[in-house]
Amino acid sequence: MKKTPSASVVRRVEAEYEAARDAYASHGVDTEAALRRLEAVPLSLHCWQGDDVAGFEQDGDLGGSGLQVTGGYPGRARNGDELRADYEAALRLIPGRHRINLHAFYAETGGRRVARNELAPEHFARWMDWAADRGLGMDFNGTFFSHPLAASGFTLSHRDSDIRKFWIEHGQACRRIGRQMAARAGSPCVVNVWVPDGFKDTPADRKGPRERLRDALDEIFSERMDGVVDAVESKLFGIGTEAYVAGSHEFYLGYAATRRVALCLDMGHFHPTETVADKLSAVLLFVDRVLLHISRGLRWDSDHVPVFSDEVRALAEEMVRGDWLHRMHIGLDYFDASINRVAAWVIGARSVLKGLLWAMLQPVETLRRLEAEGDYTGRLACMENVKTLPMGAVWNAYCLRKNTPGDMDWLEEVRAYERAIGSRRLGPS
């Protein structure tokens, strides 16, 4: 379905790139070096934007999760084939080589009901074959929500040991699946744990759930699992857990630092005036790896589509300036059902890649020198001056080189795809 750009478009993109390359060079920035750096960074594209976090268990809703998806845009993917087709449509429009990120409730069990604590690699065989054929790395998540045993709002920290045991076994099963995904894809699989556990109103006991959560996680991680990068994700509050979340930032920072697992920082999971950008250089002194969930918090919602915002740029600047990229896993995490879902993937992913390119095109040496000299006037002036350099021309050249439509062209391809699948996706979504 992909159109090749016309000769005149190619000429224009190349001419604009050459002018941009010279403009950046005058600030001491090498655009070719920036593009080489950018192409080495994979994003982990979350599958759940494609189906509003519904999963394939038929009766699933977001019960017990504190998550809410709003919007009634038609065309939600309803099964693995549709979700993979949508993924492919999005991947064609995102320059570079990326990874896919699944949740456990996207298992394909051939119509049989398989309990979550009995999930096994075979239930992801179709996903693994598909990813292997396309050279896509794979990441994975336990699904500790949308389930009767999560309906109370507690899972790994539940006071009932049988319920805890069920979720511990689920976590263990997910790590075995992750091991197989890593082996198939030939690249480590990040297996993330996020649990919704918490209270709507002021608890009498804040300690108990955290002790149980710590011990349950220790059981999940007790077996060595080659190829798996374990990660744990904190949250300040969710819908229905306004007063207390067992897995808070302090809890997981301590856990990740002492257990040597990766720390997942979701951009929507902190107080609005806190930034994940500022946390990176602090936590990476004490934990080996960080998983990002790039999202955009908006008032009560933590899961809007990320855009090319100050927050995204600041986060990318930290990753690049701190030289942390080799210790980062950059995942996306949001769900918007009010706009075309393929476009939501593409907009979010392209915004993050633009943020990285932005950071890679900064005159970092100059900024550092000015700062070291105490010339804060010069530092601020330089930061402002480079903001209006023609980054868009460098980005469009990158898209062209990666055989991906530029900013003015990708949406038309989403619309063409939408028209092509539209008639087959009618009916309740």
Q: Which amino acid is at 101?
A: N
Rule CB under 6 A: say whether 123 interacts with ligand RNT. Answer: no
Using CB atoms, what's the residue nearest to Zn ion?
293
Rule CB under 6 A: say whether 57 interacts with ligand RNT. Answer: no
| Catalytic site includes residue 52 | no
Who contacts 420 (Cβ-Cβ below 8 Å, separation ≥6)? 1
* Residues facing residue 263 across a β-bridge: 232, 290
57, 230, 266, 311: which one is catalytic?
A: 266
Residues 61, 57: Cα–Cα separation, whole Å: 9
| Catalytic site includes residue 407 | no
DSSP secondary structure code for residue 223 in this structure: S
80-116 in b/e form (b: 16+ CB < 10 A) is bebbbbbbebbbbbbbbbbbbbbbbbbbbeeeeebeb
Cβ burial of 428 (10 Å; 0-12, 13-18, 19+) is exposed
Q: Would you say 100 or 361 has its CB closer to ligand RNT?
A: 100
The option from Zn ion, ligand RNT, none interacting with 235 (CB < 5 to 8 A, set by class) reads ligand RNT
| Catalytic site includes residue 59 | no
301, 318, 336, 413: which one is catalytic?
A: 301
Q: Would you say 35 or 312 has its CB closer to Zn ion?
A: 312
Rule CB under 6 A: say whether 249 interacts with ligand RNT. Answer: no
Cβ burial of 283 (10 Å; 0-12, 13-18, 19+) is middle
For the CB of residue 366, give the shortest distance to ligand RNT in the complex, in Å.
37
* Residues facing residue 45 across a β-bridge: 100
Residue with the two structure tokens 């994975």: 140
Q: Would you say 98 or 235 has its CB closer to ligand RNT?
A: 235
130, 194, 345, 410: which one is catalytic?
A: 194
Phi, then psi, of 253 in degrees rounded to 5: -60, -45
| Catalytic site includes residue 233 | yes
DSSP E strand boundaries for 31-94: 43-46
| Catalytic site includes residue 103 | no
Q: Which amino acid is at 89?
A: A
| Catalytic site includes residue 130 | no
Residue with the two structure tokens 């819908």: 239
| Catalytic site includes residue 358 | no
The option from ligand RNT, Zn ion, none interacting with 67 (CB < 5 to 8 A, set by class) reads ligand RNT
Neighbours of 240 (CB within 10 A): 16
| Catalytic site includes residue 324 | no
| Catalytic site includes residue 301 | yes
**Tokens encoding 388:** 């209006």
| DSSP code string of 80-142 | HHHHHHHHHHHHTTS-S--EEEEEGGG---TT----GGG--GGGGHHHHHHHHHHT-EEEEE-
Which of 123, 147, 212, 235 lies at the binding interface for ligand RNT (CB under 6 A)?
A: 235
The option from ligand RNT, Zn ion, none interacting with 48 (CB < 5 to 8 A, set by class) reads ligand RNT
Which of 175, 293, 304, 350 lies at the binding interface for ligand RNT (CB under 6 A)?
A: 293
Rule CB under 6 A: say whether 252 interacts with ligand RNT. Answer: no
Q: Would you say 235 or 379 has its CB closer to ligand RNT?
A: 235
For the CB of residue 302, give the shortest distance to ligand RNT in the complex, in Å.
6
**Tokens encoding 358:** 């932005």
Rule CB under 5 A: say whether 333 interacts with Zn ion. Answer: yes
**Tokens encoding 13:** 């993109």
For the CB of residue 46, give the shortest distance to ligand RNT in the complex, in Å.
7
Rule CB under 5 A: say whether 296 interacts with Zn ion. Answer: no
For the CB of residue 44, give the shortest distance to Zn ion in the complex, in Å.
11
Residues 156, 239: Cα–Cα separation, whole Å: 18
With vertex at residue 172, the alpha carbon angle to CA 56 and CA 330, rounded to the nearest 5 degrees, is 70
Which of 333, 336, 413, 418 lies at the binding interface for ligand RNT (CB under 6 A)?
A: 333
Which of 197, 233, 311, 413 lies at the binding interface for ligand RNT (CB under 6 A)?
A: 233
For the CB of residue 255, give the shortest distance to Zn ion in the complex, in Å.
16
147, 235, 249, 354: which one is catalytic?
A: 235
Q: Would you say 69 or 397 has its CB closer to ligand RNT?
A: 69
For the CB of residue 95, give the shortest distance to ligand RNT in the complex, in Å.
25
The option from ligand RNT, Zn ion, none interacting with 53 (CB < 5 to 8 A, set by class) reads ligand RNT
**Tokens encoding 136:** 């896509």
57, 333, 336, 418: which one is catalytic?
A: 333
Residues near Zn ion (CB under 5 A) are: 266, 293, 333
Which residues are annotated as catalytic? 194, 233, 235, 266, 269, 293, 301, 303, 333
Residues near ligand RNT (CB under 6 A) are: 48, 53, 67, 141, 194, 233, 235, 266, 293, 302, 333
